[in-house]
């Protein structure tokens, strides 16, 4: 009888440990699925901007940007957007595109999108112009410097279904034309 009671106690302890590991595995899988869905959404948005950049032959920097009226509204009325924008690095000026219609995905600074998991996510897009000065040292002639202009696109995915709408994923891509005056690009306006 004592052996039977000991066996039942040991089996109960083993089952409780197994159940606890299932709980941890479920939470881990849920977080991983959420991160994968957010990654896919951000990558899709960046691919959209990359294709817009590649399609332009005369001035790629002028072809990608956000709708200016939607951007102004988001900056003024959306606490998450304005906080995220102020924390972006490197700093730059907002890039807008006058031909951007408000119904196009690349024109809206804030969107609610559905991930591969069927859940809703909040996608924030930031497009900024960044000027950088590059310096080099040459062995015979001294040093040189050049200013490059980049259009930097940052996408932040948040979970609107969780308390505080936490950030899930952030992705950034820079589109560089090289030094001003050496290619088809001009300084961003």
> Domains of the chain: which residue ranges?
2-179
Distance of alpha carbon 109 from alpha carbon 78, whole angstroms = 11
Distance of alpha carbon 42 from alpha carbon 35, whole angstroms = 10
pTM for the model stands at: 0.77
Q: What is the pLDDT of residues 111-157, one digit of tens each?
A: 999 999 999 999 999 999 888 777 776 666 666 777 777 889 999 99
Distance of alpha carbon 45 from alpha carbon 41, whole angstroms = 6
Tell me: pLDDT of 183 over 70.
no
* Selection from 126, 177, 189 nearest residue 147 by Cα: 177
């Amino acid at each position: 009888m004592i052996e039977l009671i000991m066996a039942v106690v040991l089996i109960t302890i083993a089952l409780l440990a197994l159940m606890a590991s299932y709980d941890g595995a479920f939470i881990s899988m849920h977080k991983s699925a959420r991160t994968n869905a957010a990654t896919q959404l951000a990558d899709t948005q960046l691919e959209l901007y990359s294709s817009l950049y590649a399609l332009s032959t005369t001035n790629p920097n002028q072809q990608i940007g956000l709708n200016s009226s939607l951007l102004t509204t988001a900056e003024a009325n959306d606490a998450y957007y304005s906080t995220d924008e102020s924390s972006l690095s490197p700093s730059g000026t907002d890039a807008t595109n006058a031909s951007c219609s408000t119904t196009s995905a690349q024109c809206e600074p804030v969107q609610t999108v559905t991930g591969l998991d069927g859940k809703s996510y909040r996608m924030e897009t930031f497009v900024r112009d960044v000027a950088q000065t590059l310096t080099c040292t040459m062995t015979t002639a001294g040093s040189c410097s050049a200013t490059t202009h980049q259009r930097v696109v940052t996408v932040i995915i948040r979970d609107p279904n969780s308390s505080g709408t936490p950030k899930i994923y952030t992705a950034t891509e820079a589109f560089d034309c090289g030094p001003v005056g050496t290619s088809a690009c001009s300084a961003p306006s």
